[in-house]
A and B are shown apart, each in its own frame.
Chain A
Amino acid sequence: MAILLFADHDNASLSEHSARALGAALQIGPEVDILIAGQGACAAADAAAALAGVRRVLLAEADPLAERMAEPTAALIVQLAVDYDTILAPATSSGKNVLPRVAALLDVMQISEVTQIVAPDTFKRPIYAGNAIEVVQSTDALRVLTIRSASFAPAATGDGAAPVVAVDPAAAPALSSFGQNLLSVSDRPDLSSARIVVSGGRALGSKQRFEAVINPLADKLGAAVGASRAAVDAGYAANDHQVGQTGKVVAPDLYIACGISGAIQHLAGMKDSRIIVAINSDGEAPIFQVADYGIVGDIFDIVPQMERAL
């Protein structure tokens, strides 16, 4: 039977996580419909229809869906569920918020953060901060999955052949209401999909020094900026910059860790990067165990040198 992909988007555009989740969905089966739940979301629906391999795009528009609040969005997906045997979403904050609610309403045990499709009912997922990989098989007739997008290549953008079909969301009780989004504005690439990430840790010592040392190198490389939890907790970087088990999971081509010790919770968020560079004054720091290239030295000396030499 068919697969329903609950897409991640902001009405105006489709996030790359959705294309990556489609890559995973197509490994499960060929009949994939993408659900765009939103308001004024035609642009996102058109972008979804242009992806290679999509059967149909379902466009559900209503005011309560504009910000994809959990209660009405879960009700909508449950309403559509009968036609599908797999429902999945990228494991973004939106997917993680909505899908477990859907799973419980359908009495299904969800499988979170899938990193590999073994068979249509069997999946690999990391547990214990990525220190073990669990191979799980679902016994439910319907499967609900969140997909770790860093583990899958995005589906290609085709030529817009899939039809966009409007669906009517049933009225759901208004249990909560949207207030406002306070989004970080930045000209840098998005952390979770950037090709290069430059991350700073506690060693930076202050917000000013973080910005003076990390940002110029990131800008020279066209990179996104990441941070350890210690750096975020100390206020050197914004919350949404945190990389790790409980922050964002990234897998860029190049990850440069500056003054980060390499705690398992941090490694959980970046150890699948293609190339890892570590700069740390302590030659014994655990970060060097996962680094392809390490420099033992002072970040306040090394990082500006790198920036100048590029």
Chain B
Amino acid sequence: MKILVPVKRVVDHNVKIRVKTDGSGVDLANAKMSMNPFDEIAVEQAVRMKEAGEATEVVVVSVGPAQAQEVLRTALAMGADRAILILADGRVEPLSVAKILQRVAQAEGAGMVILGKQAIDDDCNQTGQMLAALLGWSQATFASKIEMEGAHALVTREIDGGLQQIRVTLPAVVTADLRLNEPRYASLPNIMKAKKKPLVQQTPEDLGLPIAPRLTVLRVEEPVARASGIKVGSVAELLDKLKTEAAVI
């Protein structure tokens, strides 16, 4: 079984982003960019499944600018076999990403696609579900465990009240939650080896897919700031404030 893992280049999770003063977007100039943390988990899962003999090949794919090669190289260093970069500058909405991934999954004959459950920049939490719909495949979102059972996979999902186990028929789309695994750090020799692994570039047009956004971003605003609070000196003072000033207890 071939596993396809889509990985997104996003602003690093340690960066505190700023809204541009003209409201046109978020200032990412010179910000450190990294692989979306959930996608590291997805790559790790696929590589472990290959190591366990459950998968034959791990292919990673990213839709983004030329610099997205860096996150693909990181995925290759973690153990993926080859990479595909679909070059697209500017905004690419999840629906367009899902349409691109649909073509790639079909062309590759993937048996499973493992995505992150959400990207930490747009926080959409959509792409995997959309991809499953377009492919007509089963979906298992927010996975914290994947066990292979022949033509099926038993997936434990994180849901609001706890966990849920479902059985999906392959091929299937799975999205990774935080507790699925702890991703490895790529070792220096593996980083060197990754430089020689194949990475091909395509454009959405090569796949016959123009990508026109459906949403117009009118503006991006600063969130409403909280009024600054006070430090209190004792538990008695705190409880008094909560009772009389804030009236919450």
Contacts and interface: CB of A to CB of B under 8 A. Distances in A.
Contacts of B131: 104
Interface string A260-281: 0000110000010011110000
A136 interface: yes
B139 A101 contact: yes
B16 interface: yes
A133 B131 CA distance: 26
Given A71-B138, A101-B130, A253-B248, A294 B223 contact: no
A136 to B, nearest CB: 5
A167 to B, nearest CB: 21
A288 B128 CA distance: 37
Given A176-B166, A181-B164, A294-B229, A70 B214 contact: no
A108 B133 contact: no
A127 interface: yes
The secondary structure that dominates the A interface is mixed
Contact of A104 (B130, B167, B215): B130
Nearest to A220: B249
Interface residues of B, number: 82
A174 to B, nearest CB: 8
A132 interface: yes
Interface string A65-85: 001011100100000000000
Interface string B165-198: 1111100100001110000000000000000000
Contact of B95 (A107, A178, A240, A309): A107
Contacts, number: 254
A136 B229 contact: no
Interface residues of A, number: 88
Given A101-B139, A239-B144, A132 B19 contact: yes
Nearest to A283: B231
B70 interface: no
Interface of A: 67, 69-71, 74, 92-94, 96-105, 107-113, 122, 124, 126-140, 175-184, 192, 196, 221, 229, 232-233, 238-240, 245-246, 248, 253-254, 264-265, 271, 274-277, 283, 288-296, 302, 305-306, 309-310
Interface of B: 11, 13, 16-17, 19, 26, 38, 93-95, 98, 117-118, 120-134, 137-142, 144, 154, 157-169, 172, 177-179, 213-223, 226-236, 238-239, 241-242, 246, 248-249
